[in-house]
Each structure stands twice: as structure tokens, then as C-alpha cells.
Structure 1
Amino acid sequence: MIPEIGHFALALALSLAVVQSVLPILGASRGNVRWMQSARSSAIGQVFFVGVAFAALMRSFVVSDFTVRNVAENSHSLKPLLFKIAGTWGSHEGSLLLWVLILTVFGAGVAVLGSNIPAATKARTLSVQAWISVGFLSFLLFTSNPFDRVFPPPADGSDLNPLLQDVGLAMHPPLLYFGYVGFSIVFSFAVAALIEGRIDAAWARWVRPWTLAAWMSLTAGIALGSWWAYYELGWGGWWFWDPVENVSFMPWLLGTALLHSAIVTEKRDAFKSWTILLAILTFSLSLLGTFIVRSGLLTSVHAFAVDPERGIYILGLLALSIGGSLTLYAWRAPVMEGGGLFRPISREAGLLVNNLILAAATGTVLFGTLYPLLLEALTGDKISVGPPFFNAAFVPMMLVLGLFMGAGPFLSWKRADLAGVLQRVRFVAGLAVLVTLAVWYLISGGPFLAYVSILIAV
């Protein structure tokens, strides 16, 4: 009975998402306050019903209800309680339900905490968020129902992959998804701003806390996953450039650029169209990662081996989200005002270089990740792009970024004095050289880039 309640709760959540996707945005266009205010109730209702569904699935795992196919295939009666709970998100269906739960949490967060946001902007933002919810709730219900029954049930289940029975992996997916999905609300703010045709410092101020929350969570999730891979799989390093590692790393890189770009929009009313584009692309990369992991394109220890038909559904969502938002951007962005002017030597220029390097680094990782897939699709040839390519292309860009990270905080807004900046950092530059020489004396014969990295880091 409990699984059926969870299934019914998902259907109710989908119904609310459909209403929220239409009514508030119509209210904003017509100035109907009641329709706009309906977004708050429907957003809270969504998170409640999806929460009920998630609780129902977790309860099925905790009590080892093997009549639920998802539990039978991903849990065992003798498994410790922690890993029974972690089994809730250890499968395609369960992890997707967690994905949708976090999506609705962010929508409800803006509905409840966004009292300083104008009613029309909030209504449009929550409607866009509901569009995403409609896509993923329908995907969950029609292709990936986590509450499917199986009869007769197995006696003890099938167990979760032993590699995933780890404390680090119990926390890694929730943190990672909180970051992935957290960028959805930033995307919704961006599309709402494009629909309104208004981006200003206030918009950047509303967006930045949500961006920061998503970025921090994604950072923690990636760190936990790297730690797990290092000691559990013995890959020989904290980062192995596995394709599924890369699809979480790319939103992190662009999200870092977005954080800095939003600061310039807030402080100087500049980079407005660029900040909007970053918000769209960051979430688009999160969707791309979801597609790659769940489409069967990749074979990885942490990719979900599912049938390609489900991947086609996500590909359709990806095309609608990215294609629609970029079309809207191409229409609206040219009419946005440029904002404040600045000199080539200024904090704005430093942050611009920061953004360009991070965007180029993201493009490099994207190329290295997708090129083997595209080549195989076009020619049938199979190749692998591994650490040699990524290290040769990525590391030099990060060294340049490190230099700007050291000098950037000393630059002033609008116009900076380069001679003054150099004078302020001369002591620390000398100290960095001394430390590097000391390391070279103690450990000679190491890679040249290691010494350069130490110099820049100090």
C-alpha cells in the first residue's frame, strides 16, 4: 500500500507542476495577482508530494519490501541500515526521484524565501522551474517508475553494488545532485529575466545566494567522489578524467565563472548578457551530464546502465531546455544595455579573464569527453581520450588562472594602478620564489610544472 501512495503522490506532484508551469506566468503577463500568488502554493505542494514519494521509497528500502522491483534489485535484507537508506538513490529510478525532490526543494525555497523578489519576476521564475519539473516528473512516471511491483518477490533481494557500499558514496550523490539541480533555479531566474527583458544589479543579488549554495554543494560532492575513487578504486590520483567525473566537473567550472560574473553584474551593472548565458549553459551542462550517465552512452563504474530509449527522452528534454533558452537568449540579449565601463587594468578586467579561462577550460573538457562518442557515432572507430590530453590542455590554463587569482584581489573597480598592484605583491612574490627554491633544493629532479605550480600557489 505504501508504494502505491508514493506513486499517487508523484502523479499529484505532476498535476501541480502543470498548473504552476502555466498559471503564474499568465498572471505575470496579465497583471493578475492571484494567479501569480498561486506559484507559492503549488511550489510548496510539489515539494510535499515528491517528499511523500521519496519517503515511501526509502521506507520500502528500510523494511526490505522486495515486492518493489527497485528494492529487490538494489538492496538485501542483511545489508546495514545506512546502505539500505543509500540504496534509495543507488539506482536509476531512485536517484532520479532524488533529483526531482531537490528540484522541487529549490522551487519551494524561492517561493518561501524570495519575499524581496518582485511578484512578476518570482512568478515567471517559478513557472520556468515548473517546466523542468513537468519534464522530469513525466519521465519518472512514464519510463522510470520507482514503485513498480514484482511477484513473486525474491527472498533476500539482489544487493547493491559492493563498490557503492561506502560512507563516502552514501553522501556523494545527494551532495552532487544538490549542486547539479541547484543550478536549475539560476537557469529559471535567467529565463524569467529574458522573458521580462530586464537584468540589473537587483537580479544578480537575488541569484547569487542560490548559485553559491549549488556551487558549494557540487564542490563537496565532487570532493567526496574523488576521495572515494582514490582509496576504493585505486585509480592512482585524486582525478582520473573518467567521462562521468568530467560531466560533474564541467558545471562546476562554469558555475565558478557564473559566481564571479554575477558579482560584476551586481557591483558594476556589467556582464549582464554574459551572466545570463553562463546561467543557461551551467544548467545545460548539468542536463547533459544527466543524459550521458543515463543513456547507456558510457560504460563507467558510476554510470547507470539503462536502455537507450530512456536516454532519448532525456535528449528531448535537453533539446527543449537548451534550444528554447538559447533561442530566447539570441532574441533578447542584443537589446540589453552594456552596463558600466572599465579600463583594461581593473577588477572587472581581471574577472573577465577569470571567466574566459574557466569557459575555455570547460570547452576543453567537453571536447575531450564527447569527441570519442561523436567519432564512434560518425565513423564507428573507437578511441579513448585520457589524462595525457587533459593534463596537457587543462593544466597550463589553470596555472594562468592561478596567477590572476593571486593578483585579482589587489585590483580596484573600474580603474587600477598596475604599478601600485606590483608594489603591493612584491614581498609575497619574493617569498614565493624563496619557497620554490627551497622545495627544489630539498626535492630536485621533479617535474618542472610542479615547481611552477608551487610558485604560483604560494
Structure 2
Amino acid sequence: MIAETGHYALVLALALAILQSVLPMWGARARDAALMGLASPLAVSQFVLVAIAFAALTHAYVTSDFSLLNVIENSHSAKPLIYKISGVWGNHEGSLLLWVLILVLFGALVAVFGRNLPDRLKADVLSVQAMISTAFLAFVLITSNPFARVSPAPLEGQDLNPLLQDPGLAIHPPLLYLGYVGFSMAFSFAVAALIEGKVDAAWARWVRPWTLMAWCFLTLGIAMGSYWAYYELGWGGFWFWDPVENASLMPWLSGTALLHSAVVMEKREALKVWTILLALLTFALSLLGTFLVRSGVLTSVHAFAVDPARGVAILIILTLFVGGSLALYAIRAPALKQGGLFAPVSREGALVLNNIFLTAACAAVFIGTLYPLALEAATGEKISVGPPFFNMTFGPIMLPVMLVMPFAPLLAWKRGDALRAAQGMITALGVAIVATALVAGFVRGGPTLAPVGVGLALFTIVGAFAEIQGRLKLFGIPLGDSLRRARGLPTSAWGGALAHAGMGVTLLGVIGATAWASETVTAIRPGETMKIAGYELAFRDLEKRDGPNYRSTVAMIDVRKDGESVTTVEPARRLYLARKMDLSESSIATFGLSQLYASMAEERTDGATGFRVTYKPLVVLIWLGAIVMALGGGLSLADRRLRVGAPRKASVRAAPPQLQPAE
């Protein structure tokens, strides 16, 4: 009965989504306040119904209701509770329901917190959002119903894919979807603005918090997925340029460009046409990622193996919304008035340059990801585009971004002073030069340009705070006065600095983990040792352990430094009983910002066991940098001027020009 309740809730949600798609927009055209007023209650009701459906499916997983086909195919009664819950979205049908839940959640948030939106714009935004949810609710009910029953019900399920039975995969998809789907709000705002034919600084201020929120979640989702691949797949890499990995990177790059473009539009009412286009393309890339994961065109550990017919349905949705929005853009964009002019050397100019390189990097990833698929579809020829292509294209394109990023905040709006901005970067440049020289002089091995990369990373980190240093007049006035100035700085200033510094932190981690990593692959017997990066690993013994739904063989390895034991690593191999899958489980020892990574091969007939052991200096910084970036975004979002639910100003005259916040 609970499952049927969930199914009927989805049907009712679809009916409400259709009404929300039509009535508020009709009311906006007819200037009917009653019809426009229906948008918010319909959006909230739609969210409640989808939440009921999601709760019903979760209940079926937790109680092991094997009368549902979805639960049979993806769960097992012996599975730990956390993986029963994460199993809800560890499959095509359940993850699509999560996708829809987050989609209607964002619509409900606009309905509740969008008090400062004009009534017509709010009605149009919620109508466009409902059009998207209508398409996906129909897709769920027609092709991917998670509540399909089977009779008779089996006594046991087939279990979840063992690769997905991991805490990281319990967190990664919700974070990623909050990012993917969150960009739908920027899309809805853009389409609504094109319908209204009005795009101004106020529009940029309304859309920026939603874009920033989605960007923060996507940043964390990508980082969590990277870390899961690092420790779970047994090869010790954090990024393989897998097509599904790229599918999440593309909207992140486009979304980053959108954030910076929206800043220019908010401050100077410039780049209107470009900002609208970025809003459309960012969500288009999110839909593309959804298509790649679910269409069956990719073979990837990240992809759902589904009927390609479902992929065709998603392709139709993608074509409908992307094609329709771009057609509307082509009609309306020429009529949009451009804002103020600015000199090439200005903060606007630096942000435009940032946009150019970010979109070029996104285009490089797009081409490298889709070209093999397009070639195979056209000619039947299969080719592989791997890390060498992306390393040779993406890296050089992102290099100017890292160089320009610290300079932009030091330039004035409209017309900047390049010399003065360069003077503000003297400290960062000095740190970079000293660091480069020290690394080149004292660190042996690695690529020739690795020390330069370290210098660039530190230049980015230190330079990120150069603008704040200037505003605080640090070291130029008494420390107490600087602290008082610090308390008066808007949180968005600190947030922007942290987000930029996080990029440098991640770059430093990537350089350390790739340039100076060391690895050994060997087979040893109990009592023997292996050495790596100054550590001695003594293989003590193998131990048999049983988990709730698996059996494992665990290698006990003592890690010694200078003859003293410092820790123990326990790589293992697990046999998952229901699926008869044998997987390697890595073990990681963390020493400061570096890690010792050990994975285990199968035991050989001669009594030896194979191991892959890798030492990765500074690798922790890769994910720490992503957390810092997301924290910076969160601080910016906490700024009252960007707060989603900030109330309307009482009147225009209530805010004198001298009290207006400025950056």
C-alpha cells in the first residue's frame, strides 16, 4: 500500500506540474494576479507529493520489500542500513526520482524564499521550472517507474552493485544532483527573462544566489566522486578523464563562467546577452550529463547500464528544452539593450578574459568527450580520447585563468590601473619566485616544470587575498585599525578570496600527487617487506573476515619509518556473496597532507600476494581545495546582499546612494 501511495503521489505531482506550467504563465500574460498567485502553492504542493513518493521508495528499501522490481534488482536483506538507503539512488529509476525531487525542491525554495521577485517574473520562473519537472515526471512514470510490482515476490534480492556499497557513494550523487539540477534555476530565470524581454542588474542579483548555491554543491559533488574513485577503484588515481567525469566538469566550468559574468552584469549591466546564453548552456550541459549517464552510449563504472530507448527519451527532453530555449534566445537576444562600456584593462575586462578561457576549457572537454561518440555513430569507427589529449589541451587553457584570477579584484570597475594592480601582487609574486627556487633546488625528480607549477599555485593562493590586504591596509596602518576594517568587510569579499585560493590549493595538490608520486608493484609472502618513499612495509599475514553481505581476505601490513612502526594498512579483497563479485578494497595511511595508498591483488598459488603501493605527496590538498572553494561560495551566499530570501527594500528613497554597498 505504501508503494502505491508513492506511485499515486507521482501521478498527482505530474498533474500539478502541468497546471503550474500553464496557469501562472498565462496569468502573467493576462496580468491576472490570481493565476500568477497559483505558482507558489502549486510548486510547494508538487514538492510535497514527490517527497512522499521518495519516502515511499526509501521505506521499501529499508524494509526489504521485494515485491518491487527496483528493490529486487538493487537490494539485499543482509545489506547494511546505510547502503539500503543509498541503494534508493544507486540505480536508474531511483536516481531519476532523486533528480526530480531536487528539481521540485528548488522550485519550492523559489516559491517560499522568492519574496523579493516581481510577481510576473516569479510566475514565469516557476512555470518554466514546472515544464522541466513535467517532462521528467512523465519520463519516470512512463519509462522508469520505481514502483513496478512483481508477483510472486522472491524471498531475496540481487543486491546493490558492490562498487556502490560505499559511504562516498551515499553522499556523492545527492551532492552532484543538487549541483546539476540546481542550475535549472538559472535556466528558468534566463528563459523567463527572455519571455519578458527584460534583463537588468536586478535580474542578475536574483539569479546569482541560485547559481552560486548550485555551484557549491557541484564542487563538493565532483570532489566526493573524485575521492571515491581514488580509494574505491583500486588504481589510486583521482581523475581519469572518464566521459562521465567530464559530464560533471563541463557544467562546473560553464557555471563558474556564469557566476563571474553575472557579477559584471549586476555591477555594470554589461554582458547581458552572454550571461543569458551561459545560463542556458550550463543547464544544457547538465542535461547532457544526464543523457550520457543513462543513454547506454557509454561504458563506464559511473554510468547506469539501461535500455538505450530510455536514452532516446532523455535525448528528446534535452532537444526540446535546449533547442527551444536557444530558439527563444535567437529571437529575443538582439532586442536586449547592452549596458555600460568598459576599458579592456578593468575588472570587467579581466572577468571577460576569465570567461573566454573557462568556456574554451569547457569546449575542449566537450570535444574530447563527444567526438569519439559522434565518430562511432557516423562511421562505426571506435577511437579513444584519453588523458594525453585533455592534459595537452585543458591544462594550457586553464593556465591563464590561474594567472589572471588574482589580478581581477585589484582592478577598478570600468577603467583599471594595470600598474597599480601589479604592485598589489608583489607579495604573491615574491612568494611564487622563492617557492619555485626552493623546490627546484631541494626537491629531486619530477617534471622540469613542476617547480613552476608549485610557484603558480602559491601565487594564486597568496594573490587571492591581495585585494583584501589592500582594503584592510594591512601593515600600512595600526593592526587594530586593520582588524576593525576586517569586521566591516562583506562576507562576499572573504568568500571570493577563499574560492580563488581553493583553486590554488587544488592545483598544488594535483602537482604534488602527479609530479612526485612513487609507486611499487610487487608480490611478497608473509614476513617479507617492500620499500617506498622512505617507508618500509612489512607484510605480516592474511586474515579472513566476514562482513554482513561479503567475505574478505585482509592483508595486515605494518608501516615503519626509520625502523619504528608508525601505522598499519589493511588492503583487502572482498567477495560479495549475492552477486559473486570479487573487489579490491584499498587501504590509505595519511601523513599530514600526503598519503600512502595500498591495494591488494589476488593471492597466487605460490603463496605470494600481489600489492600496488603508491606514495602521493600533497594529495590531500586536491580535495581540501575543493572544500575551501565550496566554503568560499557559502560565505558569499551568506552575504545579505546575495541572500536568496532578502526582503524588498522599503522604498528607493530609503537607500541613499552613499549607503549603497560597494566593492
Aligned letter for 1:182? G
* Contact 2:372-2:383 within 8 A present in 1 as well: yes
> What residue is the counterpart of 1:13 in the other structure?
13
Q: How does 1:277-356 map to 2 (within 5 A)?
A: 277-356=277-356
Deviates more, 1:299-308 or 1:437-446: 437-446
**What TM-score does the superposition give when structure 1 sets the normalisation length?**
0.99
Aligned letter for 1:276? I
Aligned letter for 1:342? F
Distance 2:250 2:7 in 1: 34
Distance 1:172 1:313 in 2: 25
Q: Compute the displacement of 1:423 (Å).
A: 1.7
Distance 2:346 2:452 in 1: 26
Work out whether 1:239 is the aligned partner of 2:239: yes
The higher radius of gyration belongs to: 2
CA shift digits 1:254-293 (9 cap, x unpaired): 0011111111111111111111000000000000111111
Question: Is the partner of 2:217 in helix, strand or coil?
Answer: helix
Query: Would you tell me which structure has more helix in proportion to its own residues?
Result: 1
Aligned letter for 1:40? S
Distance 2:365 2:102 in 1: 26
CA shift digits 1:125-163 (9 cap, x unpaired): 000001001100000000000000112222120100111
Distance 1:225 1:449 in 2: 29
Question: Is the partner of 2:343 in helix, strand or coil?
Answer: coil
Distance 2:258 2:169 in 1: 28
Distance 1:416 1:444 in 2: 42
> What residue is the counterpart of 2:91 in the other structure?
91
Distance 1:157 1:428 in 2: 58
> What residue is the counterpart of 2:37 in the other structure?
37
> What residue is the counterpart of 2:223 in the other structure?
223
Q: How does 1:98-247 map to 2 (within 5 A)?
A: 98-247=98-247
Distance 1:361 1:46 in 2: 38
Aligned letter for 2:422? L
Question: Is the partner of 1:153 in helix, strand or coil?
Answer: coil
Q: Which runs of 5+ in 1 are unaligned?
A: none
Distance 1:221 1:186 in 2: 19
Distance 1:81 1:244 in 2: 28
Identical-residue share of aligned pairs (%): 64
Distance 2:428 2:417 in 1: 18
* Contact 1:432-1:456 within 8 A present in 2 as well: yes
Work out whether 1:56 is the aligned partner of 2:70: no
**What TM-score does the superposition give when structure 2 sets the normalisation length?**
0.68
Distance 2:283 2:248 in 1: 11
CA shift digits 1:95-134 (9 cap, x unpaired): 0000000000000100110000000000000000010011
Distance 1:148 1:310 in 2: 16
* Contact 1:39-1:111 within 8 A present in 2 as well: yes
> What residue is the counterpart of 2:78 in the other structure?
78
Distance 1:384 1:76 in 2: 37
Q: Compute the displacement of 1:444 (Å).
A: 3.6
Aligned letter for 1:279? A
> What residue is the counterpart of 2:67 in the other structure?
67
Total equivalences in the alignment: 458
* Contact 1:294-1:306 within 8 A present in 2 as well: yes
CA shift digits 1:314-353 (9 cap, x unpaired): 1111111011000000111111111011111000000001
Distance 1:450 1:290 in 2: 36
Q: Compute the displacement of 1:410 (Å).
A: 1.1
Distance 1:187 1:25 in 2: 16
Work out whether 1:271 is the aligned partner of 2:271: yes
Q: Compute the displacement of 1:240 (Å).
A: 0.8
Q: Which runs of 5+ in 2 are unaligned?
A: 459-663
Q: Compute the displacement of 1:452 (Å).
A: 2.5
Q: Compute the displacement of 1:378 (Å).
A: 0.9
Distance 2:397 2:235 in 1: 24
Aligned letter for 2:345? I
* Contact 1:399-1:453 within 8 A present in 2 as well: no
Q: Given the superposition, is the C-alpha separation of residues 206 and 68 from structure 1 closer, same or farther in structure 2, using an over 3 Å criterion? A: same
Q: Compute the displacement of 1:445 (Å).
A: 3.9
Q: Compute the displacement of 1:234 (Å).
A: 3.0
Aligned letter for 1:207? V
Question: Is the partner of 1:342 in helix, strand or coil?
Answer: coil
CA shift digits 1:29-87 (9 cap, x unpaired): 01000000000111011000000000000000000000001001100001110000001
Distance 2:47 2:113 in 1: 15
Work out whether 1:358 is the aligned partner of 2:353: no
Distance 2:332 2:395 in 1: 36
Moved >6 Å (runs of 4+): none
Distance 2:354 2:451 in 1: 23
Q: Compute the displacement of 1:446 (Å).
A: 2.2
Aligned letter for 1:168? G
Aligned letter for 1:18? I
* Contact 1:179-1:215 within 8 A present in 2 as well: yes
Q: Compute the displacement of 1:420 (Å).
A: 1.1
Q: Compute the displacement of 1:94 (Å).
A: 0.1
Q: Compute the displacement of 1:419 (Å).
A: 1.3
Distance 2:449 2:183 in 1: 34
Distance 1:406 1:438 in 2: 23
CA shift digits 1:371-402 (9 cap, x unpaired): 11011111111111000000000001111110
Question: Is the partner of 1:406 in helix, strand or coil?
Answer: coil
* Contact 1:350-1:404 within 8 A present in 2 as well: yes
Aligned letter for 1:353? L
Distance 2:184 2:306 in 1: 24
Question: Is the partner of 1:77 in helix, strand or coil?
Answer: coil
> What residue is the counterpart of 1:418 in the other structure?
418
Aligned letter for 2:54? F
Distance 2:312 2:448 in 1: 46
Q: Compute the displacement of 1:235 (Å).
A: 3.6
Work out whether 1:394 is the aligned partner of 2:397: no
Distance 2:121 2:267 in 1: 21
Q: Compute the displacement of 1:449 (Å).
A: 3.5
Q: Compute the displacement of 1:177 (Å).
A: 0.4
* Contact 2:431-2:455 within 8 A present in 1 as well: no
Aligned letter for 2:253? L
Work out whether 1:23 is the aligned partner of 2:27: no
Aligned letter for 1:214? A
Question: Is the partner of 2:304 in helix, strand or coil?
Answer: coil
Aligned letter for 2:381? D
Aligned letter for 1:146? P
Distance 2:216 2:431 in 1: 31
Q: Compute the displacement of 1:426 (Å).
A: 2.1
Distance 2:203 2:15 in 1: 30
